[in-house]
Amino acid sequence: MKKKTVWIFVAVSFIISCIIYAGNFYYKVTTTLETIHESEIRPVSKLRTKEIELVKKQPFSLLLLGVDERKNDKGRSDTIIVITVNPTINSTKLISIPRDTYTEIKGKNKVDKINHAYAFGGMDMALHSVENLLNIPIDYVVQVNMEGFKEIVDIVGGVTVENGNAFQVDDFIYNEGMIHLDGKQALSYVRMRNDDPLGDFGRQARQKQVLQAVLQKGASVNSLMNYNDLLSSLKNNVRTNMTIDQMMDIQKGYKNTLNQIETLSFEKGEGKKIDGVWYNMMNEEELENVTAKLKEHLELE
């Protein structure tokens, strides 16, 4: 075989291999996204006059639920984070909702802790209840099994966060300052609250730290090297009402929004016992201020 012919053969073989790899990658991605899609969750918020057009890069909101599922028990959404994304200014905002927040559970005709909404009616009831509390449209919802969360952290190579208070939990020692966490360490880090001087508010801050780090690491090129592991973990541990097309549109048009992430917080709520049960009572002025900021970020009137 002539030298020129050999190089042509090698080049063609390489191109064919790339096509096969890309096709296999696309097939696995679409199969995974189809598996995690929950079609029964309503796709459009009742507070929207019309559906979001992601191809036009419009701002949107997403509810992230971290759920500790147990055997024969749906579990509760102990992590409740609302994310608003505005691609026009390449900006993302995160706000954690205290799990013990006393609020109306939409569809249940009762007032209770907001993390009970998921236990009563899954993602749909949680979505409606959070939307009612914040008075903003929640466009999409993503549920993550917290046990699977540690797998995702490991797949992206761990995360580095700045710890404000040294503590020890689950045989792990977390020093003050910049620390690198693997999956197990990250899960214990975001769950701890009893030894935090800020209680649940400190836990919320740590949740947002780790989430921000995972989002930024997950968007990097290096994470694609482990795409098989990542897709497998997503298939087993994540559910969402977003369609494949919507997820693809977000991947294409919204990646730069992770360059500027601002964390908001609820800090003025007060604890109160009602019939022997402890609740977090929102400060109404603070709640209105957060709602106003999120509405502005979503470019709502």
Nearest to 224 by CA among 15, 11, 21: 21
Q: b/e map of 270-279 (b: 16 or more CB within 10 Å)?
A: eeeeeeeeeb
How many helices and strands, by DSSP H and E, does the chain display? 8, 14
Please name the residues in contact with 110: beta carbons below 8 A apart, sequence gap of 6 or more. 104
Which residue ranges make up each domain of the chain? 37-297
Instruction: Give the mean pLDDT of 193-201.
Output: 72
Identify the weakest region by mean pLDDT among 9-18, 169-178, 247-256: 9-18
Can you give the pTM of this predicted structure? Answer: 0.78
Contact between residue 164 and residue 204 where contact means Cβ atoms under 8 Å apart: no
Instruction: Give the mean pLDDT of 203-232.
Output: 68
Average pLDDT along the chain: 81
State the Cα–Cα distance between residues 82 and 280, nearest whole angstrom.
18
| Per-residue pLDDT tens over the stretch 1-49 | 555 555 555 555 555 554 454 555 566 777 777 777 787 776 667 788 7
Task: Give the CATH H-level superfamily of domain 37-297.
Answer: LCP protein (3.40.630.190)
